[in-house]
Amino acid sequence: MSIKVVPSADVDATAEIGDGSSIWHLAQVRERARLGKGCVIGRGAYVGPDVELGEHCKVQNYALVYEPARLADGVFIGPGVVLTNDTYPRAINADLTLKSASDWEPVGVVIELGAAVGARSVCVAPVTIGAWAMVAAGSVVTDDVRPHALVAGVPARQIGWVGKDGRRLESDGDRRWVSPTGETYDEVDGHLRWAEEASPE
């Protein structure tokens, strides 16, 4: 395997790019960013300084991943998504001087294993999106998202559950949830587990 970086991409010399990764036209990968194996960074996407991506992540066209975001393996970031890093954004201080890097503290978005953030969504840091969760396109995430949760809206609210295959789960009664592909989960204390992993009551 090898790394593919097209000539129009801007990849800092201190960035670490995993084997098999591709960085496409006009994308920018900043200082000390770390990308795992097999990542895809789409056209015009931005990956900030010190951002960490696990293996096989996809950051689609024109997405903005600001530091200090942390993405686990297999995370999908849709086109035009923004992961913010400033809780109280201002261009200037109270005395009207221009803000500098020392005038604010970046906070990050954490996205866990296999989760997906749909196109044009905004995740307002600091938030954590749980493993295998799904954020519907156009959502604004202001609170943590539970693993396997399906959230949508402005602000985003949970509207269901999704399986590892990304499909919406249907209730099979008594807090059991089933995917169209046959995956079965039990809801235990507000969280999903594989049916065979659920604790007996």
pLDDT tier at 198, thresholds 50, 70, 90:
very low
Q: What is the pLDDT of residue 193?
A: 85
pLDDT tier at 139, thresholds 50, 70, 90:
very high
Phi-psi region of 85 (alpha: psi -120 to 50; beta: other; left: phi over 0): alpha
Judge contact between 108 and 149, C-beta under 8 A.
no
Tokens of 69: 């975001």
pLDDT tier at 194, thresholds 50, 70, 90:
confident
The whole-number average pLDDT for the span 169-177 is 88
In whole angstroms, give the CA distance from residue 182 to residue 100. 53
- Mean pLDDT over the full length of the chain: 94
The whole-number average pLDDT for the span 123-138 is 98
* Domains in the chain with CATH codes: 4-86+106-162 (2.160.10.10), 169-201 (no CATH)
Q: What is the pLDDT of residue 196?
A: 60
Return the minimum-mean-pLDDT range out of 53-57, 72-76, 156-160, 175-179.
Answer: 175-179
The whole-number average pLDDT for the span 143-159 is 97
Judge contact between 74 and 55, C-beta under 8 A.
yes
pLDDT tier at 174, thresholds 50, 70, 90:
confident
